[in-house]
A and B are shown apart, each in its own frame.
Chain A
Amino acid sequence: MNTTKYVKTLLILLVVFVAVSSTTSAQNLEEFEKKVTEFTLDNGLHFIIIERHDAPVVSFYTHVDVGGIDEPKGNTGIAHIFEHLAFKGDDYVGTTNWKEEQKVIDKMDAAYRSWLYESYKTVPDSAVLNSKWEEFKSLQEKAKSYVKNNEYSEIIDRNGGTGVNASTGSDMTDYYLSLPSNKIELWFSLESGRFLTPTFREFYVEKEVVREERKMRTESSPTGRLFEEFLAVAFTAHPYGRPVVGWNSDITATSIQDAKEFYKKYYVPSNITIGIAGDVDPKQAKKLAETYFGKMPGKGVESPPVTTKEPEQRGERRFDMVETSQPVLMIGYHGVSETDPDFEALSLLNRVLYSGRTSIMYKSLVEDKKLAQQIQYADGFPGTKDPGLAVILALPNSGVDLDTLELAIYDEIENVKEGGITQDQLDRVRTNLRANTIRGLANNMGLAVNFVNTHVSQGDWRDVFNQLDRYEAVTVEDLVEVANKYFIKKHRTVGRIVNAES
């Protein structure tokens, strides 16, 4: 942005004067300073403890700064497979004899890999293939004999745990759990167990479960197919173009050995942040953290960053998928990462365009022109750690031509680029941003997730509130400027589902 410093200062003053409750963020921050305790273990593992004693329950959130973009070539989906395996227990939970089980698992993996390598030969020897496969299968059966099926989940369930879950994205892998607050130590025991001594138990059966997940979310869903295709078209170099769930052949190719290497590189203390929110004593939590996570190896080890930058796009990219389902339109512009100085302006611009009934697109496309049944947007798709896409997903009303809808969207974007935004519109989305930040402070898991993610992306949980001040500083002129900077045709990808009958 090239507004001069002088003008900018004036504008900030003006905005602060106009904004009714910009003090809320400061008040909230002051209150939370009293409730939040932070510490980093010697090995680099960071904890954020948020006290909230309203009810005797606690939520735990483990954030690992690894996702689809960190995966080695040929192993897409490995971050997600590892996430599934984290529910198999450790060297005590889930096994009747870890020492023996471990030996069999290693042999089983060796057999699988030799089967795999044979299968990749130009002319695989079918006898070798068969014998390797049989060997693998019989070792898999043997390994299974040591397994206590789902013991990890059973222990949590039996102790009243709820919301046991995990998710893997392009940027991150997250693990969630809530427990009655007298069971805090149980979480420390189980969580440290699975991340300090991962077992890779039932690895190959779980890969089939993952394949079913891929079929459900991607292959059997029209929009799932569209998203996968869209990212592959929009990114040529950056790994945001790859599916987090993995390509089918990569799921096949991934072995336990690959997963172990992945674990060693990325599940190191400096790459993990844990949030605990609820009825928790921070002093006790700190002692437990030292006891259970203090000896996690990997002190001083830094996970390798993603080094590839997406090169500038040289022309608009378009594709149509002819399907039996109803039409869908998806448009994406290359945007910025969450630490870019333009992030706040671009995010506010998208809200002015798409968020709420008074937004520009809703009023024009849904209400007035009646072209769209639904119009949704995302700021950083599929992630925000590196520059992602600002995407629009629009469902045309029946009988509305996709071209008509697309051109109507561009009309509104062009209008904004020419200055068609008012101060009222900007103030409104800021008010909503501020109020919704407050609304998000009302539950334990929400707090843990929000504070930890902000710590990871911005370096400090306080940025949950401080970021609101940066939003205050954005002007209407800034919005017009970022619209002209980012919403340009040659940086655009357009993907459509076209109905075969139309």
Chain B
Amino acid sequence: MPFIPHTAAETAAMLKALGAQSLEDLFDEIPGHLRSGPLTEVPEALSEHEITRLMRARAAADGEFLTFLGAGAYEHHIPAAVWEIAGRGEFYTAYTPYQAEASQGTLQLLYEFQTMIAGLTGLDVANASLYDGASALAEAVLMAVRLHGRSRRVLIPETVHPLYRKVVETVVSPQSIVLDLVPMGPDGTVQAADLASRLEGAAALVIPQPNFLGCLEDGHALAASARAAGALAIGLVNPVACALIVPPGEWGAGCDIAVGEGQPLGAPLSSGGPYFGFMACRREHVRQMPGRIVGRTVDAAGREAYTLTLQAREQHIRRSRATSNICTNQGLLVTAATIHMALLGPEGLRRVAVAAHANTATLRARLEAIPGVRALFPHTPFFHEVAVRLPIPVPEALRALEAQGILGGLALAEFYPALADGLLVCATETKTEADMERYAEHLRRIVTRRRLDPPCAYKDDNTRSP
């Protein structure tokens, strides 16, 4: 029987001990007519060999692409040791560390993680993670409204990831919180000068850095405007960028809360998850921070020990008055991220950020060399993504690139109708000169309609797994 160790003799002996005739007797408190009978819609069991073959075939069919897609999920080198260690059964199959004495490994790791995230964001304290970047932003909005106390209106710029905005809307709207959309300026960023009137009476301002379009916002000016208006400043940051770009704790007088998507720190792309959201804040806000938090303390013998703390904020104690209903963190992803950050260190993370920026600059230059291709925001500093305008319909270009084994980026039309001919491209440190050359050459051919051989439909060098 799959994953059930009982022999027939053991089952019989256990039933006998209970005075039961059959397994069926154990369900005698359930009204008989509610019993469901066989699950005919569920297929019969496969062997491990059979399911493995099926999964291999399906994974192989999905192929592997040279990807210049970013838009919230980024391909980075993940050291082999990261998942070798994170995948150890002692991390992989442990529960939430409620029993501190039997969970010191996970707890100490989370304390180290909190320290790393606080360091990266330049803020005082961090929690042990939330579900993903978008839900972390939603929690930050709720937290800011609780902290502010007098307003339920939060400013969220158009330059925030459009899917994040949707998630925030889903999560906060039942609590009558109003999301006030701040339009972007012609340079692809939020104009601090335009904010003053909107900020009046607002609870918080979300500041993305870099923003969804890859542009660097003026974090200092935006955070200062928010604080001057008595609103909280919420930094939404890429954790790799934090190694190169000034962190939210140092924008102006400092953000109140920083959140972001942790995926670039050791999580594979995995079609969107599991990832993790991170959250850091100023120390005076810690009691309004949602999620698990680990503290360092001592044991009965006075030795250093770690435990979940500030649990009085949480749902299992406070129930309907909790800071959030959340009762997990993304522990396994955080385990990977902690090992990832330890392996890269400050220098490694900085070099990854610098190389990603440099590659994106190179890619932009190569693409701009194609007739009719232009950067949408040519004078705005960027991190590792840029938006370009194509002279042909973007979906058509992307389809032709896909046929060559290249994912060429994200068509902006769906999210930004005004940028209908826009394409968002990203080149992380994983891309080589040859990769970018290949992309640019194919795009040049597609754009100029030069039907050189091989034709688009022919997958000349599409690397696919066996």
Chain B associates with chain A: no
Interface of A toward B, CB cutoff 8 Å: none
